[in-house]
Amino acid sequence: MTISEGTRDQLQELVARYPRPRSALMPMLHLMQSLEDEVTPEGISACAEMAGVSPAEATAVASFYTMYKRRPVGKHHIGVCVNTLCGLLGGDAVYEALSERLGVGHDQPTSDGDFWLERIECQAACTHAPVMTVDWEYMDDVTPSSAVDVIDRLQRGETVHSTRGPVIRGFRATEHTLAFPEDGLAAEGTPVDDKMLAGLRIAKERGMSAPAAGQEG
Would you state the pLDDT for residue 211? 85
Would you state the pLDDT for residue 215? 64
Sheet containing 76-81: give its strands across.
108-109, 115-120, 76-81, 132-134, 137-139
> Looking at per-residue confidence, does 216 or 163 come out higher?
163
Could you give phi then psi for residue 16, rounded to 5 degrees? -65, -15
Question: Domains of the chain by range and CATH?
Answer: 5-64 (1.10.10.1590), 76-179 (3.40.30.10)
For residue 24, give the DSSP letter: G
Question: Mean of the pLDDT values across residues 191-209?
Answer: 86
**How far apart are alpha carbons 95 and 112 in whole angstroms?**
20
What's the gap between Cα 29 and its chain centre?
14
Would you state the pLDDT for residue 188? 86
Q: Give 126-178 pLDDT, tens digit per residue.
A: 999 999 999 999 999 999 999 999 999 999 999 999 998 899 999 999 999 99
- pTM value is 0.89
Phi/psi zone of residue 3: left (φ > 0), alpha (ψ -120 to 50 degrees), beta?
Answer: beta
For residue 28, give the DSSP letter: H
